[in-house]
A and B are shown apart, each in its own frame.
Chain A
């Protein structure tokens, strides 16, 4: 089975500028890195595997080609873990108000 089939929501990767093509005056930590981009859209190719060059159509109908990076990409940012430094703040403030 291929990793992705036509009309699957996928994410592609493109290198826009190689390190030597980048703007002048970049800080050293940035200057040595390529300028890269990821875009999501619906696969136009019949089938493809990760890493292969594919064409997608974005939500607004524009087409792009790039390396297939992810299929049905997840949004995995989250609420984080409870922070012990934050947990007591509410009760401390409430207590201070009651002391007035």
Chain B
């Protein structure tokens, strides 16, 4: 069998079926609609079973800790009576140092149960390390594919740290240059190895994250006597938001507002060799966050189980400088040195808490470990080396890819609400366009409404408008 780009891509469907054990066709209803809950339930694990499986490899049951000094700091600049209580779910306590262990744990267990000898994942971030770590615990082999370098062979320090971590857990790591051909390599490696595709977007990945939302809801109830009012989750591909929100619902915490937070990197192209090293954040940014919300089925599996639009109440952006500032505050006021992933939503929390009543609870649902390559000092050194200007001032004036502005005080931390309506309309239009002229049925319209949490008549109007344009 040929292994050229086009030959491998033409065998995509067959390779994905063999490597996930999932017949995605079974869940397709039309070129637009599919049975989402059917797909989610296809692996057959209940939440209770998932929790037990995670416990076997030391994943989960992380502390929910109140950040009293940060709350006090926010209250010092809030209107009277305002300043919600900020809590953090300390996911750095997981075996490989992030919530991604939850995401990997069930998939690796499932792969072993199905008889695969190894697993493959494409990730330049914590997920790769989590897969390598869980594979080590379960005695499976791991291959991690990382987009690491630009064409000068310069890599972001944070990604180089992930290479080191994956290799420390005994994984085979492919360090690749920038480009969407990562998917081609993944298919090729899956085909030749016969390993399981531990994609971030398979049902078992999202089921693993449900434990996070479930745990934090119960901890909040047990420790503080109420469910959280707001949960903030750093948003990239959508899995974190989706799994957490589903877990909250399963715990009965249905009224909790779910806020997705991304770092604003508008204007930087994700597949650009020259933009690649002009950003300090390798994930959790708008370059992934917005495309994945407006079209989730752009991943390494036929249908993405991470569908953020179904669950997000609000989507907000923060700047790079605000995250660095927040990271310093967390270390100096709370004695917790943690990495940028969770600190993105923590920066969002510092702004959201100002609007909330003092008895209300905000939960930042993750932290991650930090290390060489991940610290603000490391990332800002790298930014300067790549021509980015670093100053203190008003973070609103930052230009992604050109400047990073560290706030002068906590009251300069603000969020930019990304209009949810715009995202919903864009998703509906993308769904209709992807079906290429296929005439929408009522069932398709219902699916698009549910998948984007939009009223049915709005979907109908949008469909009519697009039809007229054609």
Interchain CA distance A15-B157 in the complex, whole Å: 23
Given A39-B173, A79-B378, A96-B73, are A27 and B157 also a contact pair (CB < 8 Å)? no
Asked whether, in the complex, the Cβ of B76 is within 8 Å of the Cβ of A99, the reply is yes
A33 within 8 A of B: yes
Q: Which of B36-44, B201-209, B231-239, B324-332 contacts A (4 or more CB under 8 A)?
A: B324-332
Interchain CA distance A23-B392 in the complex, whole Å: 41
Q: Which residues B323-351 have CB closer than 8 A to chain A?
A: 324-325, 328-329, 331-333
Interface residues of A, count at CB 8 A: 44
Binary per-residue interface labels of chain A (66-100) against chain B in the complex, 1 for a CB within 8 Å, 0 otherwise: 00000000011111111101100111111011011
Report the minimum CB–CB distance from B121 to chain A (whole Å).
13
Asked whether, in the complex, the Cβ of B406 is within 8 Å of the Cβ of A85, the reply is yes
Counting chain A CB atoms within 10 Å of each CB, the highest count among B69, B161, B381, B382 belongs to B381
Asked whether, in the complex, the Cβ of B72 is within 8 Å of the Cβ of A97, the reply is yes
Given A79-B375, A90-B328, A94-B333, are A29 and B164 also a contact pair (CB < 8 Å)? no
Interchain CA distance A54-B170 in the complex, whole Å: 21
Q: Which listed residue (B373, B406, B410) contacts A93, Cβ 8 A?
A: B410
Asked whether, in the complex, the Cβ of A97 is within 8 Å of the Cβ of B271, the reply is no
Given A79-B375, A80-B381, A85-B392, are A60 and B329 also a contact pair (CB < 8 Å)? no
Q: Which residues in A have their C-beta under 8 angstroms from that of B332?
A: 89-91, 93-94
B116 within 8 A of A: no
Given A29-B274, A35-B177, A100-B76, are A83 and B157 also a contact pair (CB < 8 Å)? no
Asked whether, in the complex, the Cβ of B179 is within 8 Å of the Cβ of A80, the reply is no
B269 within 8 A of A: yes
B418 within 8 A of A: no
Report the minimum CB–CB distance from A57 to chain B (whole Å).
10
Binary per-residue interface labels of chain A (16-56) against chain B in the complex, 1 for a CB within 8 Å, 0 otherwise: 11000111001101100111111111000000000000000
Report the minimum CB–CB distance from A1 to chain B (whole Å).
26
Report the minimum CB–CB distance from A48 to chain B (whole Å).
20
B249 within 8 A of A: no
Asked whether, in the complex, the Cβ of A59 is within 8 Å of the Cβ of B170, the reply is yes
**A/B pair count, beta carbons within 8 Å:** 159
Secondary structure class of chain A's binding surface, majority of residues = loop
Asked whether, in the complex, the Cβ of B378 is within 8 Å of the Cβ of A58, the reply is no
Asked whether, in the complex, the Cβ of B179 is within 8 Å of the Cβ of A93, the reply is no
Q: Which of B21-29, B47-55, B180-188, B444-452 contacts A (4 or more CB under 8 A)?
A: B180-188
Asked whether, in the complex, the Cβ of B380 is within 8 Å of the Cβ of A39, the reply is no
Q: Which listed residue (A34, A76, A93, A99) contacts B333, Cβ 8 A?
A: A93
Asked whether, in the complex, the Cβ of A23 is within 8 Å of the Cβ of B184, the reply is yes
Report the minimum CB–CB distance from A41 to chain B (whole Å).
8
Report the minimum CB–CB distance from A84 to chain B (whole Å).
9
Asked whether, in the complex, the Cβ of A60 is within 8 Å of the Cβ of B409, the reply is no
Q: Which residues in B have their C-beta under 8 angstroms from that of A93?
A: 73, 329, 332-333, 410
Interchain CA distance A59-B136 in the complex, whole Å: 12
Report the minimum CB–CB distance from B1 to chain A (whole Å).
17
Given A39-B172, A60-B141, A79-B375, are A27 and B271 also a contact pair (CB < 8 Å)? yes
Asked whether, in the complex, the Cβ of A75 is within 8 Å of the Cβ of B157, the reply is no
Asked whether, in the complex, the Cβ of A83 is within 8 Å of the Cβ of B76, the reply is no
Given A21-B5, A40-B167, A89-B328, are A77 and B378 also a contact pair (CB < 8 Å)? yes
Q: Which residues in A have their C-beta under 8 angstroms from that of B378?
A: 77-80
Chain A residue, CB-CB nearest to B158: A77
Interchain CA distance A90-B164 in the complex, whole Å: 30
4 more CB-based (< 8 A) A-B contacts, given A23-B181, A26-B180, A80-B375 = A36-B153, A83-B381, A90-B331, A91-B332
A-B contact pairs, 12 of them (CB 8 A): A22-B181, A39-B175, A41-B172, A62-B172, A62-B193, A79-B378, A80-B376, A80-B382, A81-B381, A90-B333, A92-B409, A96-B76
